[in-house]
Each structure stands twice: as C-alpha cells, then as structure tokens.
Amino acid sequence: MSQKSGVRSTDAGGKRRMNVLLGDREYIFDGDEIATASLDAGVPNALRLIEPIVHTVSVTPGTVEIGDIFTILYNGTAVAAYTAAAATVADVVTGLVAAWAAGKASVAGASRITATDDTTKVTLTYDTAGVEFVALITGTAVDGGIADTQTIGIAAVLNNDTDTLESSPKHILGSNSISFDKINGSNNLKNAGFELSGLAINLSRFLADAVIHLGILVPDLTNVAKLYIRLGDDASNYSQWTIDDTALAGVAWELQSVALSTVDTTVVGTGADMDDINYAAVLLEFDLETNALDDILVDHLLIHGHE
C-alpha cells in the first residue's frame, strides 16, 4: 500500500486548524497558536508539547512601566531594543516591531524574519517554512522593582533561582535545546527550571497509556533530588509528574518517560484540563536551596501514545 503524508492549514470558524496526514489517517490539531503544536515526524502519533525552535514565534512583553527597556534576542543575539514610552503592552509591541525592522539586517539570519504587530505580542515569522530559531524578550526595569522583572517569550524562567535561560547548540532533535542554570537566588527555592504559556493544545485524544517523553541532560546529579514535568492551564493550575533522581543517569543526554496515568495524586489548583493545555514546565529540585548547577539542557517534551 502506498503511504501518503502531508500537512495543510485551514480556518474553522475563525480558529486555526492543522491537519496532518500520515498514511491513511489524518490527525487534526486545533489552536490559535498552531506553531506551538506540531506532529513529530520521527515519532508517529506524537504531539510535540515543547518545541523551543519553531519557524514562527510569538514574544510577549509583561508588566510595563515608562522607561522599561525591552530587547528581542534572536538565537541569543540582541536584534531589537525599545524603551517604553507608555505603560502599555501595545506601545512596547509597536516599538519592538519597528526596532526589529530597523535592526534585523545587522544580525546574520534575522533579516529573513518578519516581525508583525499583533497588539499584545510580537509575532516573528521566518520567510521559509521549517527553518528553526529561538526568540526571547528580555527586559531591564526602570526601577528594578519585583513587578518589573522581564524574561518573557517562548520560554520564561520559573523563579530567580533559575538563571541564564538561553538556546544551546547541543541537541537531540532539531538544531537547539533550552539551557538554564540553577543558582542560589533570592527566592530561596530548591528548584530551577522554565515554563511556557499560551500553548492551546488538546491532549484529550490520547488514552491513559500514552507516555510523556522528555529529552534532558543533567551534567551532575550530586545534589539533584527530583525532576518534575507540569502540564495545565497556568502556573496556579496544573498537574505534575515526578521522576526521582535514582531514575536519572546524568552527564549525557537521556530520554525520561512517564505514563500519563502516573500523574501525582496532588494537583495544584484545578489541575490539568487535557482538552486545553495552555501551560507546561520542566524543573529540577535540588537537595538544598543553596545548591548550584550550570548548563542543564532540555531538548524536547512530547506525548506518544494511542488515540
């Protein structure tokens, strides 16, 4: 039997839809941000949850005060910077789009990316589908206040015990991974990691025997206690899966897998609504809040299973 494959994007009642045809089956993924959900061609019937390198990226400024400086980083290099002239997200978005147009020619690769003003966010689109990149917004607060901390974009630090969130050329899939450090920050927390929001992914099609796969590299397990994966609506409403340090190999890349059915019995807030996953996080818990570790890498987070 001949096998066919393809991807097509349609519009259903104003809501974007991606249809992926594999063999004789068609998989439909709905969502306002199609770029955050993709079928991993290397693992049939696998919905990629965290894709740190996609050809369309939306970056969103957070709390804004006049004088705050926002910068868009492309693959770790600053391309566009804007100082807020008004205490609104719309002002920052408009300013960043203009700054991107003016500055993209000076950074290799950035000239092929178009920035679009979507009022509440900047959408960056590469001119060739499938070319991958990482974009983040970072910011410098005018008064250094806690409410002005800005590290926002496709990935954001979980707390200030997490530092140096950036892309890394070390990877398993694609061409990059997400890198972060655990530091002894003022939050005085034992954990460090990153989170994503605005995913709009429907996981209800997967049965309970589906498996969550995480590609991770922890360079040193000496002070590591646990690894956590969180899925839910936001940072106040999620379900969590726990992997003990005894299951981790450390030093080299490894694939950690947990069944959906092994979710922790205690949930935060309302837990995860599998019909509408908008939030994901990956974090490591250490033995002490003073423990530090550099260059923790996460390559991918995906779900693989039966519908």
The model's pLDDT over 169-178, given as tens digits with 9 standing for 90+, comes to 788 876 678 8
- Residue 130 carries which side chain, given as an amino acid letter? G
- pLDDT at site 58: 60
In the chain, domain spans: 56-153, 175-304
Asked if the model's pLDDT at residue 155 lies above 90, the reply is no
Q: How far apart are CA 188 and CA 258, in angstroms?
A: 29
- pLDDT-based confidence at 122, cuts 50/70/90? confident
Segment 82-96 mean pLDDT = 87
- Between 161 and 14, the more confident residue is 161
Residue with the larger pLDDT of the pair 118 and 34: 118
The answer to whether the beta carbons of residues 110 and 104 sit under 8 Å apart is: yes
Residue 256 has pLDDT above 80, yes or no: yes
State the pLDDT confidence band at 75, using cuts at 50, 70 and 90. low
Q: Which of 99-103, 138-142, 159-163 has the lowest mean pLDDT?
A: 138-142
Report whether pLDDT(243) > 80.
Answer: yes
CATH number of 175-304: 2.60.120.430
Average model confidence (pLDDT) across the chain: 73
Report d(CA 177, CA 299) in Å as an integer: 4
Contact 299, 177 (CB under 8 A): yes
Cα–Cα distance, 54 to 71 (Å, whole number) = 19
Higher pLDDT, 49 or 268: 268
Considering the chain, what percentage of its residues have pLDDT values greater than 90? 25
How far is 247 from 229, CA to CA, in rounded Å?
14
> Sorting pLDDT into bands at 50, 70 and 90, what band is 38?
very low
User: Which bin fits 24, alpha (ψ -120 to 50), beta or left (φ > 0)?
Assistant: alpha
Q: What is the pLDDT of residue 56?
A: 54
What is the distance between the alpha carbons of residues 233 and 272, in angstroms, rounded to a whole number? 6
> What is the pTM (predicted TM-score) of this model?
0.56
Q: Is pLDDT at 142 greater than 60 in this prediction?
A: no
